[in-house]
Structure 1
Amino acid sequence: MAENTRKGTNTTILINGQRGAAYIKVHKRRHIGYLGASRMMASSTSPVDDSTPSPSADASLGLTKPTTHLRIKHAPFKLMHPTYLEDDHTTAQGTQWHSRASRKHLYTVKLAKVHLDKPSTDAEKATTSEFKIRGELRLRTCHPHSLLKPRLAWDISFWVAVWFVCGSAAWIINGFLLFIPLLYESSSQGVQAAAWGFVGGTFFEVGAFLMFIESLNSGHEELYKKALRSILNEDGGTRKQERGKLRLFGLAPFRDIGFLGSTIQLCSASIFWISTLTGLPGVIPGFPGTSSVAITDVFYWTPQVIGGTGFTIASVLFSLECQKAWWKPNPSSLGWHVGFWNLLGSVGFTLCGAFGYGSVGNSWMNYQSILSTFWGSWAFMIGSLCQLWESIWREANT
């Protein structure tokens, strides 16, 4: 639906589509405004009426609905998109937007005014294109009165956490089956341990793929791209908007730290899964006792080292996403703990492969390799439980 109201040289356009409501002011072909990123059908909309002022309306934009005013407060790196926006009309306890909380759907969608014009910091300059953007968005913001309650939502964020919890549990069983025989000199349970390792690696692969889909459909890229160029014709009219569909494959801006971390996590899980497959009995002839050292190193230990290193990088990115400064940890954030504990688990899995290169004929290296898997799996479990707890506490729909 598009409705035009002519007032002199100004044209006010209201678009109501599947991806949300967009309020646009066009003045002499100069685009001001922004497309809503909520990807939701507005339940009811009304044409923008410039003659009906609102206390918080921006007269220069023709926006008449009460809004909060958000400005960039932090970007983890100079070339990365901001992860933290804050209301610059109130104190530090005012309305906030966090990229992770938005991606995880922890808060309900609200109307907010985003300012990306007049860049003053390096982070703002890095995310502002040649034309300055200022306009209203529907974002998942946290208001001072926002209250999180236990609310089980069967969405993708919940299932991401569930798959990682199940995968961590499988790896703990794998660790017990390998580590306990070393302590009590009992018979090895290598076959059962390999089976549980394959199950854990498969669960991690599914969880990483769901995490990728979650970040791919977050809608955050609409916060940074050029305003509404794709839906405006040269004559000031509008084109038909595409329906917002769930994307299973595709790309989003790699400057979005959430999407970058999720992509690295998926690639790492896929590489790591190779080692769980080659660790099954019969895949590598004679493994683990009489197999070729070269074949074992290439197809079993190396995927663990590469995959574990990728897990480490992804965990660091997820921790940085929740910090106000790259050098300052944020233990008050549950999302930060998810990244921190997964970082410890990633280091453990990486060390497992690293020690594994020299484990043949070296009891100490073999002991350290198995021990690294054991404590690394417990660290992954703590991080996964934090993620599950995070997905349960959400703001109630109003």
Structure 2
Amino acid sequence: MSESSESAPKYRIRPGTFFDVPATTRIYAASFGNEPLIDFFFPTRRQDPLSFYTWSCRRFQRRYWTPGYSLSVVVDKHDHPVGLSWWKRPTQPLTLLQKLLSASFWVGSVVNAFINLQEYLLPVQGLNKNNMETFEQAFSDVEPHVLDTPQRQKAHYLSLLGVDPVLQGEGLGKMLLEDGLEKVDDEDSAAWLVSLAGLEKLYARYGFVEVTKVEVEGLHDWKGAHSPKAATDDPIHGFPNSIINKLVDLDDERIKNMDENNIAIQVLSHTPANFVTAEIIIACNDELAAAVRANKSRFAGFACLPMSDPVAATHELERCIKEHGFVGALIDNHSNGNFYDGREYDILWTKAAELGVPIYIHPAWPSQKEKEALYSGGNLQSDSNSATALGAFAFGWHASTANTILRLMASNTFDRHPKLKIIIGHSGELIPYMFDRINKATAFFGMKRGFAEVMRNNIWITTSGMFDVHSLRCLLGNMPLSQVMFSVDYPFSDNKLGKEYLEMIRREGILDEGGIEAFASGNARSALFLFIIPGQQPISSVAMPRAHDHFHGRHYHAERTTGPVKSLNPTKRYLVADKKALNAESDPGNAGKELRPTAESPGVAYVWRSRDNRKGRHALAISVDPHKHEATKGPRPSNTYHQTLRGILKMFVRYPVWDVSYDVALVFTIGSIIWVINGFYSWLPILNPSTKVSDWAGGLTAFIGATVFEFGSFLLMLEAVNENRSDCFGWAVEESVDGMLHLTHVHNCKHAHAQKRTFVKQSSKRLDNNTPESAGIDRMWSWWPTWYELRTHYFFDIGFLACSSQTFGATVFWISGFTALPPILNSLSTPAENGVYWLPQVIGGTGFIVSSILFMVEVQPRWYIPAPGVLGWHIGLWNLIGAIGFTLCGALGFGITHPGVEYALTLSTFIGSWAFLIGSVIQWYESLNKYPIWVDQKIERLGQRKS
């Protein structure tokens, strides 16, 4: 006889990691739904949620590495954080040596430096500086006031407790508080906290006693904490727990209910509330995508969009469609009274039409102005239930959504976007009943396309819980059946009612069997590209959009693609150039015509290389030297003396600081020069003692050089994650009627390197709207790739792995640069010196070695075949020599007490510095020469095979 085990708990608590900070910050930002104190400090946090989130996230990232602070999170069964608590443990001050030996000290220093750089390059613009200073001052006033007592310095301090607002009332805050207090009891310690006025009774339940009140300077204009006038109702609090439980259940119970009522698939979506931040919306979409992937034969997804920001909404729509495979988006019919009919929303409608996905416009709760104008006063002033029903599900929702649709028509949105697809629910939100009257009245709108035409070509209507055959007759009398779709609106309506509704339609004879099939599933399949019947292909020839790898269809499985390591991404591809008619625009008969090469015409191929793509370079291979072939006009090959001298001249006259590849090369060149100077300071005094200078000369140059290398590595990572995503070959290959081949540069480069205004802003715009989807995707400048991009592309990209190794090495090596400063180095014991000065040189230098080898391998035809004809290979070679020199220096340092070792290690640093300088100068040359061309006789054979 066996005992049944209890099911796994729905929520559990675990220690928070640094990677939980963004998610917990979203919870923190969202948990202040109607908090007047936070509104006082940050009055624009709802209009500009990203600024408040960014500022908060940076504060918590710093806090995570502050000694004594610990983060705990409560997570759901998918390990997604839904609550958080910050505790500060009693700690003793660390000595300098303890700090130097502490990993958190070094990581925290790097994190703080990175955040400082972020705040310098990307300061938070949307928040009031004075308010932020008051907020900081308020907490800096409160905490020391109550902390500076011996008793409390030895106690645990609960700094912050927060729970996802959707789950507030589920006892998660209690879980976190009790968990923290258990740890306090385990250490036989005490706990204390600072609370806002009004929460004393809550904390009194857990043994907290009020001991003092603190008045905070700077808050004299704040009118109250939780007054009824300051608070506004959050509609979700009116939902019963039975509805909430069904909403959050995405597993067995929901699917069981679907099976019982013949529901093949559900389109899941979040409905954004006005207080939800853009960051929370992104997290919600990611969570929804995970749920859809877990049951992709039964679920599909609509994206939630931050409609207060049309640009952010557009980017999130594109991300969700292309990365998550969502089938559209669902938005409220207004955002705080904004009905989306302004021109600023054209960017969103354009993107939706381009992607070919529908936007479902769902009723929203009335704005405050609507409540005051339409749903207050008289009897409604005291009858809140009637006011809520009238303003929402009884009438207000539907009239408001109809108003949104008509405003879009009146603003000529559908004239500007004739392919835009809009879905509305509730059997048409009153519009079908008013169809004839509206159709006549819209003559005043000035629409080029009439109301009826737009309704029957751009609008789809779902029943969405309206299970009335009379309203369906009215709907089908004004709309074609192909635009009408069955929908239940679960869990606000019951799936069983939907099943009975279809049976009623059959009994009443409103639709025949073919019509019922179209109404119940076929129309949705065509409109949303859904696989309605699990395991079967859709009737529609259009497939569901899916996420694409960066170069999927262009390089991964293309012809003539090679790479040094088969298990990693390809690094080189030849594309035989199609020779177009020269001056085709002046001769319409030749426009766009491919010309078959003459016997004298040489073979030409574009060469895509992963390194060149990162550097914004466009390589061309030709079977003969253009200057030695009478049928070819074009520049000399790049390896000639003439072209080499021209490239060197560019280094003195061109300064494209907007080009991140140029910045990388220049920063590493400057850093290498500093290391060469350091090499002189370190090695010459051993060779000739009379040249000895102050210890500060060597220590300070080592610190500055290591810091410059760290900054260069940061830029190198930016370069790696912002490589071009679309075909960009940079050359025009044209053939005149007499067979003369013309090779010229083109100036419509899509690489960010060529765009003066795209550095840390936007990527270049797509130049050809007809570019096929397989040709790659342009995107915004990125500071770091998404997890999807990492696992599908970057973890298999040799260049990215090389840049990551370089950055890791530079970060660890920086520790040696810091400890090289005389006050630190001279105070270290031998074991400490080995641990924080010599060891980081060995580890960091090893990272440089791995990086250099990977950069060499990246441009080689096979991992074991050198490529001395490629600049990138020489850069990697010289950097490898430099890396070995730096690593040897650290390795020899462990035996510095032995005679002759000091000479050897300083010499290895000196040689390594010069090698790095040579490699950096070559990289500088490479960054300015964007159009390499070389002779390769194999290209002729490629061209013949294509012919």
TM-score (norm 1): 0.66
Match of 2:810 among 262, 265, 269: 269
Deviation, structure 1 residue 220: 5.3
| CA gap 1:37/1:370 in 2 versus in 1, 3 angstroms | same
Contact residue 164 and residue 207 of structure 1 kept, 8 A: yes
Q: 2:673 aligns with which of 169, 173, 178?
A: 169
* Match of residue 183 from structure 1: 687
Work out whether 1:358 is the aligned partner of 2:869: no
**Pairing partner for 1:103 from 598, 606, 614:** 614
Provide the secondary structure at the position in 1 that maps to 2:676: helix
Could you tell me how far apart the structure 2 residues matched to 1:301 and 1:267 are? Answer: 16
Is 1:394 paired with 2:882? no
Q: SS where residue 916 of structure 2 aligns? A: helix
**Structure 2 residue 846 is matched with structure 1 residue 309:** yes
Structure 1 residues 98-247: aligned runs within 5 Å: 98-107=609-618, 142=620, 144=622, 150=647, 152=654, 153-154=656-657, 155-186=659-690, 188-189=692-693, 190-219=695-724, 244-247=779-782
Instruction: Provide, for residues 266-317 of structure 1, a one-character-per-residue CA deviation record: whole Å limited to 9, x for no partner.
Output: 111000000000010112443xxxx411000000000000000000000000
Q: Deviations over 1:116-158 (max 9, x none)?
A: xxxxxxxxxxxxxxxxxxxxxxxxx636488577564331000
Give the distance between the partners of 2:576 and 2:805, measured in 1 at CA: 34
Distance 1:279 1:159 in 2: 27
Q: How far did residue 218 of structure 1 move?
A: 0.9
Pair 1:297 & 2:838 matched: no
Relative to structure 1, is the Cα distance of residues 359 and 3 closer, same or farther in structure 2, using a 3 angstrom cutoff?
Answer: closer
| Larger Rg, first or second structure (1 or 2) | 2
The alpha carbon displacement at 1:187 in A equals: 5.5
**Alignment check: 8 A CA contact 2:613 2:724 kept:** no
CA contact (8 A) 2:724 2:778 kept: no
Deviations 1:331-368 (A, max 9, x none): 110111110100000000000000010012x2311111
Amino acid at match of 1:384: S
Matching residue of 1:372: 908
**Structure richer in helix, relative to its length:** 2
Secondary structure in structure 2 of the residue aligned to 1:329: coil
- Which residue in 2 is equivalent to 1:115? none
Q: Distance in 1 between matches of 2:712 and 2:687?
A: 32
Distance 1:88 1:392, change over 3 A: closer
Residue deviations 1:199-230 (CA, integer Å, cap 9, x gap): 1111111111000000011145999xxxxxxx
CA contact (8 A) 2:855 2:873 kept: yes
Distance in 1 (CA, whole Å) between partners of 2:726 and 2:894 is 42
1:81-132, CA deviations, whole angstroms, 9 ceiling, x for partnerless residues? 000011268998522111101110012xxxxxxxxxxxxxxxxxxxxxxxxx
Task: For 1:47-66, list aligned pairs within 5 A.
Answer: none
2:567 maps to 79
| Distance 1:242-1:338 versus aligned 2 partners, 3 A rule | closer
The offset of 1:178, in angstroms, is 1.0
Matched residue SS, 1:77: coil
Aligned position for 2:541: 28
Q: Select 2:874's aligned residue among 305, 323, 337.
A: 337
Cα 1:106–1:372 change in 2 (3 A) is same
C-alpha offsets along residues 165-217 of structure 1, whole Å, 9 cap, x if unaligned?
Answer: 00000000000011111111226333201111111111111111000000011
Compare relative contact order (CA 8 Å, sep 6+) and give the higher one, 1 or 2: 1
Q: Secondary structure at the match of 2:892?
A: helix
Residue number in structure 2 paired with 1:42: none
User: What CA distance in whole angstroms lies between the structure 2 residues aligned with 1:93 and 1:32?
Assistant: 36
Q: Residues 37 and 219 of structure 1 are in contact (CA less than 8 Å); yes or no, is this contact kept in structure 2? A: no
- How far apart, CA to CA, are the structure 2 residues paired with 1:292 and 1:368? 22
2: CA distance, partners of 1:273 / 1:282: 16
Q: Secondary structure at the match of 1:76?
A: coil
Report the Cα distance in structure 2 between the residues aligned to 1:321 and 1:216, rounded to whole angstroms.
Answer: 16
Q: Does the CA contact (< 8 Å) of 1:71 and 1:88 recur in 2?
A: no
**Comparing 90-99 and 276-285, the one that deviates more:** 90-99
Separation of aligned partners in 2, 1:213 and 1:4: 28
Q: Deviations over 1:213-263 (max 9, x none)?
A: 00011145999xxxxxxxxxxxxxx9xx99822112345321011111111
Distance in 2 between residues matched to 1:390 and 1:321, nearest whole Å: 16
Is the contact between residue 221 and residue 256 of structure 1 (CA under 8 Å) also seen in structure 2?
no
**Does the Cα contact within 8 Å between 1:304 and 1:352 map onto a contact in 2?**
yes
Q: Give the structure 2 partner of residue 249 of structure 1.
A: 784
Report if aligned partners of 2:576, 2:604 keep a CA contact under 8 Å in 1.
no
**Amino acid in the other structure paired with 1:352:** C
Check 1:342–1:92 CA distance in 2 against 1; reply closer, same or farther (3 A cut).
farther
Q: How many residues align?
A: 294
Tell me, yes or no, if the aligned pair for 2:550 and 2:777 is still in contact at 8 Å: no
| 1:395 Cα offset (Å) | 3.0
Match of 1:279 in 2: 820
One-letter code aligned to 2:830: V
Offset of 1:162 from its aligned partner? 0.4
1:86·1:95 contact (CA, 8 Å) conserved in 2?
A: yes
**Structure 1 gap ranges (5+):** 6-14, 16-25, 39-60, 62-68, 108-140, 224-237
Asked if the contact 2:703–2:817 (Cα under 8 Å) also holds between the matched residues in 1, the reply is yes
Contact 2:721 2:785 in 1 (8 A): yes
8 Å contact kept, 1:318–1:339: yes
Amino acid at match of 1:106: R
Select 1:321's aligned residue among 853, 858, 869: 858
One-letter amino acid matched to 1:280: L
Higher-strand-fraction structure: 1
Q: 1:128 is matched with which residue?
A: none
Q: Could you tell me how far apart the structure 2 residues matched to 1:92 and 1:261 are?
A: 34
Matched to 2:718, the amino acid is I
Task: Specify whether residues 318 and 283 from structure 1 end up closer, same or farther in structure 2 by C-alpha distance, changes over 3 A only.
Answer: same
CA 379–217 in structure 1, closer or farther in 2 if over 3 Å, else same: same
The change in CA–CA distance for 1:169 and 1:36 in structure 2 (over 3 A counts) is: same
- Offset at residue 160 of structure 1 (A): 0.1
Q: Matched residues in 2 for 1:318 and 1:393: separation?
A: 19
Which AA in structure 2 matches 1:174? Answer: N
> Secondary structure of the equivalent of 2:930?
strand
Per-residue deviation, 1:327: 1.1
> What SS does the aligned partner of 1:327 have?
coil
> Secondary structure of 1:97's match?
strand
Counterpart Cα distance in 1 of 2:564 and 2:785: 24
SS in 2 for 1:359: coil
Which residue is 1:228 aligned to? none
Q: Is the 8 A contact 2:681 2:697 kept in 1?
A: yes
RMSD of aligned C-alpha atoms?
3.6
